Structure 1
Amino acid sequence: MAAITIRQLPEEAKQRLRMRAAAHGRSMEAEARGILLAALESTGKADLNWVEQLVAVGYEVGGVDLPVPEDEPATAADLRS
């Protein structure tokens, strides 16, 4: 397995990680590893915006054919009071 070093982690984040690890009964390293793995598994398309995600889903299901109604001329506004 590979090892990484996280530099410049704010002290508050380190303290929160320490508290979270203690609450789960494991080391800070194990907690950080769990958080990282869960984040990577749950957000396969995290860098896409919602429109790109919607388009991707459309491609996955084979696309969607929507009816395009014909344009109708606008009615004139009645500006008489």
Structure 2
Amino acid sequence: MPSITIRNVPDEVHRAIRVRAALHGRSAEAEIRSILEQAAKPEGRLKLGTLLTSIAREAGGLTDAEAERLNQLRDKTPAEPMSFE
């Protein structure tokens, strides 16, 4: 799993993270991971496949059964990030 180093974090921010972590019963590192995950993958985000399915349904070109079948066939493996090196 990749690691991230963050330099020059203000003392008051570091202290606030430690307090927040203590309130949630976890380490500061675990708290930071949670904050990053929530920021990168917020609840309620609209995913592209969901958007395309809703567009097709509104256009009358996709039944519920067809949408379910497509969902079952969909590859749920996370995509690999593109490398520019």
Query: Normalization by structure 2: what TM-score?
Result: 0.50
Q: Which residue of 2 aligns with 1:32?
A: 32
SS at match of 2:4: coil
Partner of 2:22: 22
Structure number having the greater helix percentage: 2
Partner of 1:4: 4
- 1:46-57 alignment runs, 5 A limit: none
Secondary structure, aligned partner of 2:14: helix
Quote the sequence identity (%): 46
Spell out, residue by residue over 1:26-81, the C-alpha distance to the aligned partner (whole angstroms, 9 max, x if none): 0000000000001101296xxxxxxxxxxxx9xx858xxxxxxxxxxxxxxxxxxx
Q: Give the TM-score, by structure 1 length.
A: 0.52
Quote the residue 2:65 is aligned against: none
Gaps of 5+ in 1: 45-56, 63-81
Structure 1 runs (4+) deviating above 4 angstroms are none
- Equivalent residue letter for 2:25: G
CA distance in 1, matches of 2:39, 2:20: 16
Structure 2 residues without counterparts, runs of 5 or longer: 46-50, 57-85
Cα-Cα RMSD: 2.1
Q: Which structure: larger Rg? A: 1
**Partner amino acid, structure 2, of 1:24:** H
Paired letter, 1:15 = R
